[in-house]
Amino acid sequence: MKRRTPLIIALTAGTAAAAAVVAVTGPVTAQPADPAAQASLAATKADALVASRPAALQASQHDTFQQGKVISSAGMQYVPYTRSYKGLPVIGGDFVVQTDSSGRTTYTSVAQSSPIGELSTTAKLSSTDATAIAKQQLTSVKSVEGTKLVVVAPEGRTAALAWESTVNGVGAEGVSRLTVDVDAASGKVLRTYEHVTDVAGTGSGWINGSVSINTTLSGSTYSMKDPSQTTLTCQDASTNTTFSGSDNAWGTGVGTSKETGCVDAFYVAQQQTAMLSSWLGRSGQNGSGGAWPIRVGLNDQNAYYDGNQVQIGKNTAGQWISSADVVGHELGHGIDDNTPGGISNGNTQEFVADTFGAATEFYANNPNDAPDYQVGEEVNLVGSGPIRYMYNPSLAGDDNCYSSSTPSDEVHAAAGPGNHWFYLLAQGTSGNGQPASTTCNSTTVTGLGIQKAIKIMYNAMLLKTSSSSYLKYRTWTLTAAKSLYPGSCTEFNTVKAAWTAVSVPAQSADPTCTGSTTPPTTPPTTPPTGTACTGTNGTDVTVPDAGAAVYSDIAISGCARAASSTSTIAVNIVHTYRGDLQVDLVAPDGTVYNLKATSTSDSADNVSTTYTKNLSSETTANGTWRLKVQDKYSADTGYINTWTLTV
C-alpha cells in the first residue's frame, strides 16, 4: 500500500505522468524546414532519449534497441523501435517515440509493462521439435519459412525463451500464414499470429464502371503494373501472372471475368494510394512508395491480405468482389501491418481495416459505388446484402457497444464497436447525409467529417505497439487529436465523446485537453411532461494533486417538478488512486450531498459508478447542479471525464 500524504501537511503538489509518457523539457529550437532534416533530427533526439534508458521503456541491463524508419505526419515525427535481449528479438518489446518539429519528445508508446529481468537464452527443446509443434497448428502445411530463437514478452506476463516459426498452409478457417512461438523449454505454444486477414488506361469494371487506370507500357505491351508504384500489380491468382495486352483497354464489364475484377481492384488500389498521399501524407500502402500484388481468382467467398499479397475471391454468383470497401479494407490491413506494432491486436484489426475501406470509397467518390458506411454492399457476398454496417453494426448481428467480452469475440463481430466509433467521429449521430446513428449512452455527437476522422485514426496507428487494444486505441486517438489540432479541444472532445458513446471507458493514460472548445455532445432533451430530467457534462476538468476543489456543472431546465427521491449521479473520474478523492453533489440552492469520502486504503484506479441519492427536499429540480471533486492527498493525479445527472 502506498503511504498517503494528507492535504493539510502537503508542502508541494506532486505530479504524476501516465506510465507510457516520457516528458522531455528543454528550450524550443528553430525547426528544420526540410522534412528529411526533421526526420533526421527526430531520429537523433529519439536515440538520445533511448540511450538515457528512461523508466517508461521497461529496459533491463541486457536490452538493446533498434530504430526503425522515421514516419512523418502532420508536422510530427514517429520513431519506432524494436528490442533485443542478449541479441535475440523481443516479441512484444516494441515502442514508439513521438517528437514535434523541433525534435522534442511529446509522447512515448511502449508495449512492455515490466522489464524482462534475468532469462536464460539456452533452449532445451530443439528447433526441429519446435517446428513440428508449429506445423501441428495447421490442418495441412505447404511450407515453413524458417525457425529462430526469440524472447516472447507479452504485456503483463512473464517473458520466455521461444522458437518462432512461420508456417504456410490451411487451418480451420481456411488459407493461413501463421507465426507460432513455442516455449523453448516446455514445448507449449505461447503465441500464434495470423498474417492472413480477410475480407492511365481505360477499364470496364462490373462495380466501378468505366474508369481510368495507370498502367505500364514496355515495348508494345501494356500491363496492369503501376508505373510509379511498381510493386502494385493486378494478376490472375491461378498463375500469379500480371494481366497484359497489346492495347490499353481492359475488362468487359462482366463480373465473372478475372480481368474485369482486376480493373475494379487496380482502380481502387490507385485511388487509395492517392487518398493516402492527399489526406495523410503517406507514400503508398507500405509507407515507402510500394504495395503488394493483387490477385483475382481465389475460389472462395472471401478476400484476404497475408503480408505478401492481396487475394480477391468471388460472391456466390461467381463475380469477383473488387469493390472499394473490400479492396480498400484488405489494403488497409497492409497499411496496419506496415505501421508501428504490426497488424492491430485485441480484436481491433477488422475495424481498423474498415476505416480505410470507407475512406477509400469516399475519396474515390465513384457514382457507381456511392460513398457510404456499409461494407460489401456492392458485392453481395452471399446474397444477403452488406457484410457490416458501420452506423448500426447490430443490423449484421454485431455489437454496437463495447463490453469486456469484445476482445474475445469472433474478430469480425468484434469490429462493431470500433466501426460505430468511427462513424460517430466522422458523421455524428445525425449522419450528416448518411443514416442516423444511436449511441450507447443516449448522447448526441457532432461528427468531424471522414477526412479528419481517418487522419486521427492514422496518426493513432503511428503510436501503435504490438500490445494494441480497444482501450489503447482510445488513448492513442485522443493523443493524436490533441497533437494534430493544438489549441483546439473540439476534435479531442469529439474523439472522446465518440468512444464514450460506444462504451469504451476512459483510461488513466488518456490525455486531457483544456484549450478552446466547441462542445461536441448534447445531453438528451427531456420532454417537458416527461418523468426523467437528465443532463450530461463531458468536458474534462483537471483535478489538481492535493489541491483545491474543482467543479463541473449541469444546468437542468424544463423539469417542472421537485427532484426525485431516487435521483442518480453517474460519475466517471479518471484518477490513479481514487482513495484520494472526495466527491460531492452541490444542488442549485447550495446544499451539499456527499457521494464519496476519501480512503487511505482504496488504491484502485478511477471512480466509475452510479450513485443514488434522495434529493426530494430540492423542491425545484431546475437550476445548475455541480459535481465537486477534491484530491486531498498528494502523489496522484486525474480529471473529471464525464458525469450524468438524472433528477
In the structure, what pLDDT confidence band is assigned to residue 524 with cuts at 50, 70 and 90? Answer: very low
The neighbour count for residue 404, using CB atoms within 10 Å, is: 6
Give the span between the Cα atoms of 357 and 198, in whole angstroms: 13
Q: Are the beta carbons of 105 and 96 closer than 8 angstroms?
A: no
pLDDT at 456: 98
555 beta partners: 624
> Is the pLDDT assigned to residue 645 strictly greater than 90?
yes
User: Helix or strand or coil: residue 260?
Assistant: helix
> Is the pLDDT assigned to residue 8 strictly greater than 50?
no
pLDDT at 21: 44
Q: Which residue has the higher pLDDT, 454 or 599?
A: 454
Q: What is the mean pLDDT of residues 600-629?
A: 89
pTM, 2 dp: 0.76
The residue to which cell 529462430 is assigned: 148
Instruction: Average the pLDDT over each of 112-126, 286-300, 521-535 and give the range with the smallest value.
Output: 521-535
Q: Are the beta carbons of 613 and 537 closer than 8 angstroms?
A: no
Question: Around 180, how many Cα atoms within 13 Å sit in the side-chain half-sphere?
Answer: 28
Give the span between the Cα atoms of 151 and 116, in whole angstroms: 9
Picking from 102, 75, 39, 107, the residue whose alpha carbon sits closest to that of residue 479 is 107
Q: Which residue has the higher pLDDT, 518 or 227?
A: 227
pLDDT at 577: 87
Q: Are the beta carbons of 499 and 374 closer than 8 angstroms?
A: no
Tens-place pLDDT, residues 313-336: 999 999 999 999 999 999 999 999
Helices 490-501, 415-427: crossing angle, 10 deg rounding: 140
pLDDT at 344: 96
Q: Which residue has the higher pLDDT, 640 or 13?
A: 640
Portion of the chain with pLDDT greater than 70, in percent: 91
Q: Would you state the torsion angle of the CA atoms of residues 333, 338, 344, 350, taken in this order, to the nearest 10 degrees?
A: -10
Q: Are the beta carbons of 609 and 498 closer than 8 angstroms?
A: no
CA 82 to chain centre: 20
Give the span between the Cα atoms of 632 and 611, in whole angstroms: 21
Give the span between the Cα atoms of 418 and 59, in whole angstroms: 32
Three-state DSSP string of 296-362: ECCCCCCEEECCCCEEECECCCCCECCCHHHHHHHHHHHHHHCCCCCCCCCCCHHHHHHHHHHHHHH
588-592 contacts, C-beta under 8 A, 24 or more apart: 588/618, 588/620, 588/622, 588/623, 588/624, 588/625, 589/618, 589/623, 591/617, 591/618, 592/628
In the structure, what pLDDT confidence band is assigned to residue 635 with cuts at 50, 70 and 90? Answer: confident
Q: Which residue has the higher pLDDT, 542 or 391?
A: 391
> Is the pLDDT assigned to residue 242 strictly greater than 70?
yes
90 beta partners: 151
> Is the pLDDT assigned to residue 523 strictly greater than 70?
no
Instruction: Average the pLDDT over each of 35-49, 98-112, 164-178, 588-602 and give the range with the smallest value.
Output: 588-602
Sign of the torsion formed by the C-alpha atoms of 238, 242, 245 and 247: positive
DSSP 467: T
> Is the pLDDT assigned to residue 260 strictly greater than 70?
yes
In the structure, what pLDDT confidence band is assigned to residue 207 with cuts at 50, 70 and 90? Answer: confident
pLDDT at 634: 80
Q: What is the mean pLDDT of residues 588-614?
A: 87
Query: What average pLDDT does the chain have?
Result: 89
Helices 415-427, 450-461: crossing angle, 10 deg rounding: 130
pLDDT at 416: 97
Tens-place pLDDT, residues 78-134: 999 999 999 999 999 999 999 998 899 999 999 998 999 999 999 999 999 999 999
Q: Which residue has the higher pLDDT, 524 or 377?
A: 377
Tens-place pLDDT, residues 33-81: 578 888 999 999 999 999 999 999 999 999 999 999 999 998 999 999 9
Tens-place pLDDT, residues 540-562: 888 888 888 889 999 998 888 99
Give the span between the Cα atoms of 581 and 41, in whole angstroms: 43
pLDDT at 514: 81
> Is the pLDDT assigned to residue 24 strictly greater than 60?
no
Tens-place pLDDT, residues 404-450: 999 999 899 999 999 999 999 999 999 999 999 999 999 999 999 99
Q: Are the beta carbons of 585 and 625 closer than 8 angstroms?
A: yes
Tens-place pLDDT, residues 561-578: 999 999 999 999 988 888
> Is the pLDDT assigned to residue 190 strictly greater than 80?
yes
Q: Apex CA 217: angle with CA 214 and CA 223, to 5°?
A: 65
Helices vs strands, H then E, count in the chain: 9, 35
pLDDT at 547: 83
